[in-house]
Structure 1
C-alpha cells in the first residue's frame, strides 16, 4: 500500500508514453502551470473553483504573451506593447502576471503554508524581483502586474462570490443528513433531491480533513461569467425566489414516483450490480486493451475496440486481467483522490504529457507551422482552461438547480421502502427497489436456512426477514488493514450498502446530476482532439501502470499489475465516465447527458479560443440545440449503455 506522497507521484506522473529528455521541452508557461497544479493539489478538492483558477491563470499567461504579438487578441487585456526583446519580455510578463494571480488566489488556501513558499521560490528562481509591484509604464513587470490586477478585479465581480470565499448565498438542502455509519436512510424527505451526509470527520478528495461534511459545493455556479457559453445556451430557473442560471439545460433527471420512475430505479440498481463486480477473486478475466474496449459512439458504451493501431499499423496487444481489479483501479484512478489536481487539473497533466511526447508535432489543429514551445503552451492552456471553466459552470449550474440525489441515499431509501417487483410478496412498496436474482433479493425464511445464501443475514430473532439483501462490495467495515486486506464482495443488508469510497469521504459534497467527470472529460477530449488535429494519443495509445498491491488506497490491490490503456482522448473520457458507476458515485442518468454537454462545450470553447488566436472578435458560439432532444432519447441510451457494459464484462 503506497503512502499519500507515492500516490501523488503516481497520479501526477501520468505516464502516457516514455518522454525522453532530448525531446521534452518546456517553456516558462509550463513551469508556472506545474506550480499551479501543485497549489491545487495542496488545496481542498474544489473542482469549480480550480477550473476557474486554471482558466484565469491560463488567460493571464496567454494575455501576457499576446501583448507582444501583432495578430492575436487578448482575453482580458487588450494592450499591445513594443519591445526590443520580445521573447524575454514575454517570459517576464507571464511570470509577473501568473505570480501575482497565484498569490492572490492561494494566499488563504488550506495548503498556503506549502504553496506560497513554492510560488515565491519559483519566482525567485527565475531571477525576478517579486517586490516590483508597479503597474505603470511598459516594463515587462508592469505589464504582467497590470494583467494580474485586471483579472483580480474582474474576478471580484464575475458571480463567483470570491470576495466571500465562494460561500453559497441562498441554496439550502431540503433533506436532513444521512448518517452512513447507521442503517438505512430513515430521515430523507424527498428521494429525488440531494442529501448531505453526517460524518464524524470528512476528508475530501484531496485528502484534506475538514472536520465535518461540507456544504454543497457551488450550487449557484451558473452565475459565474463563462468563457464561451452564450445567452442562447442559458435558461434561468427560480426556486423560492432565487435564480438558478442553467446553461445547456438537459431537462429533469428520472424521478421516483414521477416521470422516469423506471429509469430512476434501474439506474441505481445498476450501481448496486456494478458494486458486485469489484472482487478480483471472482475468476472473471477480461481484455482491457484498445483491442476490445473503447471506440464508443457518443453517449453510448457500444464500442468493441479497434483492430489496428492506426499510427503503427499493428494490432493492439490484448491485456487480460481480473475484472474486479480493473474496475477497482478505474474507480480509484479517475476519482482524482488524495493529493489530486481535481478532474479539470487532471486533464492539464494529460495535456502536458502529450505536449512532451516526441511524436507530437506542435501544429495548432494539426495544420500550419510548428509552434515554438511557449506559443503552444499559452494557446493550449487557454483553450483547455476555458473549456474546463465552461464545463464547471454548465455542470454545477445543473447540479444546483436539479439538486439530484446520490446513489447511497437513493439505494438505501428504496431498500428501506421494500421491494417493488411483486405485489404478492413480502415488503412490497411502490417506491421499493426492484428484485434481481443474484444481486438484489428478498430475505426469506428459505434463504436464511443453514447453507442458504442469506444465512448470516437473519439477525437476532430473524429480525431481518423481509429486508432487502444485495450482493455488493461489502464496505469499509470489512477492511481490517488497508495494506493487506480487501472488503471483497458478498451478500449484505441493502440498508448498509456503501459506495467504493473511503469511510471518511463516502460521496462528493454536491448533487449528482449531471456528472462533472463526464462533462469535464468529454469536453477535454474534444478540445485535445481539436488542438492536436488527431483523436489519437501520440503513437496511437497511452497508458498508466497501477502496480500490483500498491496502487489502491483504502484496500489492498490490485492483485496484479493493471495497465490502463486508451487509443483516443474520447476513450479515456468514456472510461472516466463509466468509472463513476463502479465507484458508486453516479448512475448512468448522470453520465450520458454530461457526455453530450462536454462534446458541445469542447467544440464551442475551441472556436472561441481560435477567435482570440486569430485576432478577431470572439465568434458567436455554435448554438446548443440538440441537448433537450438527446435527453428525450436517454431511456434508450441507458438501455444500450447497460447492455454493452454487461457484454464487455
Structure 2
C-alpha cells in the first residue's frame, strides 16, 4: 500500500526529486549536523545506513549477496520490480536511521521523510513476501549484528552513554601540566557559552570495533605501508621529543601559520569539518552524491557506490582510531607551547591580528576559537586517511580518478575571521578525487592541527584500507569467487575488481 503524502511539502535538507537512497543519506547528514557525533561514529552511522539499504537491495539483484543474510533473503518473483525495490531500500534505510538517531526530533524527522516518500512508518513486519518486510528484515539483521560490534552504540557494554569508552583510557597529561611531551594533552576549551570544558578523547575504544572488510587494523593497514613510511622518515609513527624531527615539524607548522594566504585559510576552513559540520566522513558522502548527480546514477548504482564508499570510510575510522590510541601522540598546539614557551615566535596571532611576534605559549591553530584542536591524538590524521580512502573507493568504483568538482568561497564569509577573509572570492577546484583528498590532507597542516608525518603517512593508510576492502565489496556485489577470511572469522569469496 502506498500512502497519500501527508507530510510537509518537503522534509528540510532533503531533495524530494532525488532517489530514495540519496534522500536518506541527506537525512542522515542533517541528523549528524543536529546531534554532533564524533568522526568515527559518523563513519559508522553512514556505513550502517548504506549497508542496511544495500542488504535490502541485494534481495532484488540476481548476483548480490547481503552482508548478514547472504542469498537467503531474496524477493519473490512478484516483487521483482523497481517500485518494490525502491520501497525495500526506503524501509531498510528508515529502520537504520531510526536506530542510529534515537532523539525524538530525529525520529519524527525520519517518519516524515518516509511518509513523504509514500510509505507507512508503522509497517514494522518482517515478511519477505512484501517489500517493506524485506527492508525491515535486512535492517533488523544488520542492526542486531552491529549492536554487538563493540562500538558501544547502546552504552550497554559499560552501562554508560552511547558510544562511551569501555577500555579505561586515561590521558597522561592534564590541561595544566605536560608530563610527557610526546603524548596527547586534553585542553581546556571554550564551551561556546562563556565557560570552559576539558576535552575528553573521543572513542578511544574504536580500534576494537568489528570492521567491515579489514581483519586487523595494525596487521592489514599499518604493516603493509610500514616499509614506505620507514623509507621516508626512518621510523614508523610520530617523531619523539628526543629526535630533531619533533622540533622540525613544529617549526613547519609555525612557518605555515606565519604566511597563511587567503586561499590557504579558505582551504583550512572548508575541510575542517565539512561545509555544514558533517565531519570528513560526511563531507565525502557529499562528494559521492556529486558523483551520483554527475554520472546520472540509477538507484542500483547509488546503492552500490554508497555501500562501497561508506564501508571503506568506516574501516578507515577503526584503523586510524586504533593507531591514534596506540601512539597517543601530541598535537601541534601542545608541542609548540612546550618547545617555544617563553620565546618569541613569528606566527598568526589570532583573528584579525595577522602575523606578529607572539609568545610561544600563546600560539594557536587557525581554527574557530570554539574548536582550537580536536579532542583526540594527532597521529595518524583522520582527515588524510578518510579522504584518501574515500577517494580511492570512488576511483575504483567509477573506474577513473576524474572528479571535476568546484567550490567557491564568497568574500568575507570566514568563520574564523568573518568580514575580512577572504578579501575576494576564492575558488577551489579538484580535477581528480586524489586532488581533493590531498587538499583535505594538507588543510590540516595549514590549520595547525597536524604535523607532516601525521598527514603523509595517513594518506598511505587510507589507500591501503580501500585496497583491502575492495575485494570484499566485490564479493557482496556478486562479482567474485575467491575466499578470504573476514575480520570476525567468516569467509568471503572475492576476486580483483569488477564494479
Q: Deviations over 1:343-368 (max 9, x none)?
A: 011011011112212xx375xxxxxx
Q: Specify the alignment match of 1:107 in structure 2.
A: 102
Distance 1:550 1:152 in 2: 41
> Judging changes above 3 Å, is the alpha-carbon distance between structure 1 residues 513 and 154 closer, same or farther for their aligned structure 2 residues?
same
Q: Which has the higher contact order (CA 8 A, sep 6+)?
A: 1
Whether 2:191 is the aligned partner of 1:201: answer: yes
Query: How far apart are the structure 2 equivalents of 1:268 and 1:543?
Result: 32
**2:318 alignment partner in structure 1:** 393
SS in 2 for 1:334: helix
Structure 1: 5+ residue stretches without partners: 1-11, 14-20, 179-186, 204-208, 237-244, 279-323, 363-372, 417-466, 480-485, 624-649
8 Å Cα contact 2:366-2:416 kept in structure 1: no
Q: Are 2:411 and 1:413 equivalent residues in the alignment?
A: no
- Determine the C-alpha separation between the residues in 2 that align with 1:137 and 1:376: 23
- What is the CA distance between 1:162 and its match in structure 2? 1.4
Could you say if the C-alpha distance between residues 338 and 381 of structure 1 is closer, same or farther in structure 2, counting changes exceeding 3 Å? closer
Report if the CA contact (8 A) 1:545-1:561 is conserved: yes
How many residues were matched structurally?
455
TM-score (norm 2): 0.86
Structure 2 residue corresponding to 1:168, chosen from 157, 165, 170: 165
Structure 1 residue aligned with 2:273: 336
Partners in 1 of 2:83 and 2:425 — Cα distance? 46
Q: What SS class does the counterpart of residue 470 from structure 1 fall into?
A: strand
Deviations 1:200-224 (A, max 9, x none): 4259xxxxx9972441011121111
Q: Which has the larger Rg?
A: 1
Q: Deviations over 1:498-553 (max 9, x none)?
A: 1111222210010010000000011111111111111112xxx3211001112444
Q: Taking structure 1 as reference, are residues 542 and 621 closer, same or farther at Cα in structure 2, changes over 3 Å only?
A: farther
1:68 Cα deviation after fit: 1.5
What is the correspondence of 1:357-376 to structure 2 with a 5 Å cutoff? 357=294, 360=295, 373-376=298-301
Instruction: Please give the alpha-carbon distance, in whole angstroms, between the structure 1 residues aligned to 2:223 and 2:30.
Output: 30
Counterpart position of 1:252 = 237
Alignment of 1:417-566 (within 5 A): 467-475=342-350, 479=351, 486-537=352-403, 541-555=404-418, 556-566=420-430
1:141 aligns with 2:132: yes
Query: C-alpha separation between the residues in 2 aligned to 1:595 and 1:72?
Result: 31
Equivalent residue for 1:585?
A: 449
Question: Does structure 1 residue 93 correspond to structure 2 residue 88?
Answer: yes
Match of 2:74 among 57, 70, 80: 80
- d(CA) in 1 for partners of 2:462, 2:426: 28
Q: Distance in 1 between matches of 2:130 and 2:185?
A: 53
Deviation at 1:83, TM superposition (A): 3.6
1:162 is paired with a residue of what secondary structure?
Answer: coil
Structure 2 residue aligned with 1:430: none
CA contact under 8 A between 2:237 and 2:379: conserved in structure 1?
no
Q: CA 1:247–1:474 in 2, change beyond 3 Å: closer, same or farther?
A: same
Secondary structure of the residue that 1:544 maps to in structure 2?
strand
**Residue in 2 aligned with 1:290?**
none
Structure 1 SS opposite 2:428: strand
Deviations 1:88-119 (A, max 9, x none): 221111111111111111114xxx53x33321
Aligned equivalents of 1:92, 1:271: Cα separation in 2: 51
| Coordinate RMSD, CA, aligned | 2.6
| Native 8 Å contact 1:64 1:147 kept in 2 | yes
Distance in 2 (CA, whole Å) between partners of 1:615 and 1:53 is 26
- Assess if the C-alpha contact under 8 Å between 1:201 and 1:213 holds in 2: no
Residues 612 and 618, structure 1, Cα contact 8 Å, conserved in 2: no
Any idea what the Cα deviations from partners look like across 1:265-298, whole Å, max 9, x if unmatched? Answer: 11111001100012xxxxxxxxxxxxxxxxxxxx
Determine if the alignment matches structure 1 residue 607 to structure 2 residue 482: no
* Contact kept in structure 2, 1:518 and 1:577, CA below 8 Å: yes
Q: Hey, which of these two has a bigger chunk of helix by percent?
A: 2
Over 3 Å counting, the alpha-carbon distance change for 1:595 and 1:489 in structure 2 is same
